[in-house]
Amino acid sequence: MRSKLPVYSKYAVIFLFLLLVAVMIVATVVEKISGTDFVVENIYSSPLFILLWAIASIFSAIYIMSRKWRKRYITLFIHLSFVIILLGAFITHVHGLQGYIHLRCGEPAVKYFTVSGKDNFELPFSVGLEDFQVENYAGTQSAMDYVSKIRIEDGRNITEGTVSMNNIFEYRKYRFYQSGFDKDRKGTTLSVYYDPYGIAVTYTGYVVLFLSMLLFFIERNTGFRKLIGNKILKISFLVVLFLLFSDTLYAGERIPKTIPVETAAKFGKLYIYYNGRICPLQTFAYEFTSKIYGNKSYKGLTPEQVMAGYFFFYDSWKEEPFVRIKSKYVQEILGTGKYASLADFIGKNGFKIEEAMSETHNADELRALEEANEKFNIISMLCTGSMLKIYPVNSSEDSSCKWYSMADRLPDGISHEKWAFLKYGMNYVSEQIYRNNYQEAGVLLDKIKKYQKTEVVYGVPSDFCFKAELFYNKWTNIRVLAMGCIVVGLLAFGYQTRVVIGRQSSSTFVNRVLVAGIYIVLLYIISIIFLRGVIGGHLPVSNGFETMLFMSAISLVLTLVARRYILGYTSFGYLIGGLSLLVAMFGESNPAITPLMPVLASPLLSLHVMTIMISYSLFAIMMFNGITAEIIFRKEGFKMELKVEKLEKISRILLYPAVFFLAVGIFIGAVWANVSWGRYWGWDPKEVWALITMMVYSSAFHVESVVLFRNGMFFHRFCIIAFICVIITYFGVNFILGGMHSYA
């Protein structure tokens, strides 16, 4: 019986492993339907789910101890670290408390906080609110931080502390986080967490895992060291690790009336308060044109000319088919094709969209109507001038600065001269433009710019940042770059596969051209990343557009390092980089380069995103290796066994750092979440699918226990299918499942 126990435990672990993955997959789908609270309470926090993890850990320990681990301590500690992490999570579940406390200025201190939305838990001390403030971004009215100053009364001891975004206050193992505030700004809601033991145990597991993984690459008896026994592959792998860390013509077509390019450019160099920050008016023009039309250029006109055309020459533009309509249903409502004009929105009975919205109850149709309605309203706000908040006015009361448009009601107390300048300044510009006196119009625009610089004491971007944003707007074109990379990648992949199958030597000239293209694309992407960093004032990894730029850059760096050793890898670099840029392109129509709240400015977040992107890039390489091996195998069968084996060896080598980076990225994200939000794991769909991805790929390590993974073609096919997990983790969660991470 004793001899059969390890065998039974192995099959039990495999079964429980698959069951846990299946449960989590189903849970993410149920969460989309029933909500996060329902899933957390009825699935993730259920005794049965916890029991499954406990039983899986026990059977894993039995199987591990039955094997000869005496000379493989590092591998043993890797498995032990996961047990410690699960133990910490269990302690948190049993002994941890999570709730909230509401405080008001001038009211008595509170000694209770609410747990689970209904139960009150008594604190061993009382908490009072001394003051609450909202801190805005410099020169704007956009909230950057929420700051609560609290007072702890513990017997005779009195302690004062500050709670803000990404800045917790801890007292006697109770941690307070900023959660919300009252509309009158005299009250605040703080999240309260008490977990004196679970976090410490979990963090211990993280440290053990991190150190074990580092030592794993050094230990002689691991499968990884056996795979990189070849000196060339070893050197190339170390180099990879080092690097990883370290417009259209419109002949004969009617062009709507607008202003000259030079005057439009000067118009675009005004400051505007837009999207929560002060930026060039050109930025609004680019985003306006991209959002409404779907492209940065219209009939050869610059975005500034398009914006100026609608603002100064409404009658000429209202008949222009400029509004892109994606929905066939909305096209039928408006009686247009793919593009509609402002005039198409108005019918005999009034506004066509409003009439249609009152008659339909289909969710998809309503969404399409709302999208068209939004575009119509944006153009209308531009035409009336209410969208153009270009006039800053300082407040003498609180030294703040608020931005106004010519259509806004100006504050009381300003001089008549200033009032007239703000109210009619653009009217004077319009008058000169109607007279075709563009030189005088430029002089008036210069006066407005001078007023902006004089009125705003702080918050205006530096001249360098301003010019960087102008340059970024003009020269960034992700659409063309993405399409070009994908086309070149497909052609190169076909060429290199044909060379391999036909047993021909590849052309030196073709290879050099492909490599030169990689350098050019990489330099362009790095320039974009640098400019976004300069403009935003932070490492640009705060949204999906920026993370996909990083992923594209990482894949190209890997290409340049590994192209000499990996069969056909140059084409993989173009394809992975191009696909990443293609996804980034979806967000380019509204990139929103905005300042970050402190919680998003944490270096832990940047490190978390970068390690995850490195992992995804490596998984993508393994997937393309699998596709290449499948093509070769189907074409030549076992005649090409050596080339298939070489691809297999490369993918097995990459598997280790890929899973390593994913695990580290997950746990860095957990630490960041704990510091910022008070909990290191919230069962968000992105978190769950990242865990599923790690579990699926880590199963390929166990070649001694799962015989199928010893087969080369099975491993290649596994790499192809497993990449679905990566796709769902990044794209499925973002566009389908949703959650807190749906931006990334």
The structure tokens listed for 297 are 């250029």
Whether 240 maps to a domain, the answer reads no
Both 59 and 166 in one domain: the answer is no
Which has more pLDDT, 232 or 164?
A: 164
Report d(CA 77, CA 58) in Å as an integer.
Answer: 15
Tokens 């009658």 -> residue: 315
Mean pLDDT to the nearest integer, 263-274? 92
Picking from 410, 408, 405, 409, the residue whose alpha carbon sits closest to that of residue 390 is 405
Whether pLDDT at 252 is above 90: no
Q: Verify that 302 and 411 share a domain, yes or no.
A: yes
Q: Do the beta carbons of residue 521 and residue 485 sit within 8 Å?
A: yes
* High-pLDDT (> 70) share of the chain, %: 79
Given 589, 606, 634, which residue is the final one in a domain? 589
Helix boundaries (H) for 159-230? 198-216, 223-227
Structural domain harbouring 569: 476-589
Residue percentage of the chain with pLDDT more than 90: 16
Q: Does some domain include residue 328?
A: yes
pLDDT at residue 45 greater than cutoff 70: yes
- Indicate the residue among 536, 561, 589 that finishes a domain: 589
Length of the chain: 744
Per-residue pLDDT band for 112 (boundaries 50, 70, 90) equals: confident
Average pLDDT over residues 51-58: 88
The average pLDDT across 700-714 equals: 84
Number of domains forming the structure of the chain: 6
Show which of 547, 563, 589 is a domain's final residue.
Answer: 589
Residues 285, 395 share a domain: yes
Q: What is the pLDDT of residue 387?
A: 87
The long-range contacts involving 432-440, CB below 8 angstroms and separated by at least 24 positions, are 433/259, 433/263, 433/312, 434/312, 438/259, 438/260, 438/262, 438/263
Per-residue pLDDT, 548: 76
What is the C-alpha separation between 394 and 396, in angstroms, rounded?
A: 6
**Band (239; pLDDT cuts 50, 70, 90):** very low
Provide mean pLDDT across the span 670-697: 82
Q: What is the spatial distance between Cα 60 and Cα 64, in angstroms, rounded to a whole number?
A: 6
State whether 174 and 199 are in the same domain. Answer: no
Contact 623, 720 (CB under 8 A): yes
- Cα–Cα distance for residue pair 504/65, rounded to 1 Å: 51
455 found inside a domain: yes
Confidence category of residue 441, pLDDT binned at 50, 70, 90: very high
Instruction: Give the model's pLDDT for residue 266.
Output: 93
Average pLDDT over residues 710-719: 90
- Distance between CA 396 and CA 422 in Å, rounded? 18
If asked whether residues 608 and 688 sit together in one domain, one would say yes
Banded model confidence at residue 339, pLDDT cuts 50, 70, 90? very high
**What pLDDT is recorded for position 502?**
60
Compute the mean pLDDT over every residue in the chain, rounded to the nearest whole number: 80
Same domain, 716 and 649: yes
Element (H, E) at 559: helix 544-562
Which pLDDT does position 594 carry in this prediction?
A: 40
Tell me the range of 218-232, 329-343, 692-706 where mean pLDDT is highest: 329-343
Return d(Cα 616, Cα 608) in angstroms, integer: 13
Indicate whether 371 and 453 sit together in one domain. yes
- Same domain, yes or no: 454 and 509: no
What are φ and ψ of residue 115, in 5° steps? -115, 135
Out of 133-137, 162-166, 382-386, least confident range: 133-137
pLDDT in tens, 273-328: 987 788 899 999 998 998 898 888 888 899 999 999 999 999 889 999 999 998 88
Name which of 243, 260, 239 is nearest 553 in CA terms. 243
In this model, does residue 683 exceed pLDDT 50? Answer: yes
Q: How much is the pLDDT for 268? A: 93
Distance between CA 511 and CA 517 in Å, rounded? 10
> What pLDDT score does 98 carry?
82
pLDDT of residue 232: 42
* Same structural domain, 63 and 73: no
732/122: higher pLDDT: 122
SS (H, E, C) 490-557: HHHHHHHHHHHHCCCCCCHHHHHHHHHHHHHHHHHHHHHHHHHHHHHCCCCCCCHHHHHHHHHHHHHH
Residues 130 and 177 in one domain: yes
More confident residue, 265 or 549: 265
Name the nearest CA neighbour of 165 among 145, 181, 189, 186.
145
User: Considering the domain boundaries, does residue 251 fall inside one?
Assistant: no
310/450 same-domain check: yes
Residue 646 lies in a domain: yes
Q: 244 in a domain, yes or no?
A: no
Indicate if 41 and 84 belong to the same structural domain: no
Task: Specify if 726 maps to a domain.
Answer: yes
Task: In whole angstroms, give the CA distance from residue 736 to residue 192.
Answer: 32
Q: Which of 203-217, 288-302, 489-503 has the lowest mean pLDDT?
A: 489-503
pLDDT for 246: 43
The answer as to whether 531 is a domain residue is: yes
For residues 531-555, average pLDDT: 77
Q: What is the tens place of the pLDDT at every residue in 404-427? A: 988 888 888 888 888 888 888 888
Task: Calculate mean pLDDT across residues 208-218.
Answer: 80
pLDDT interval class at 595 (50, 70, 90): very low
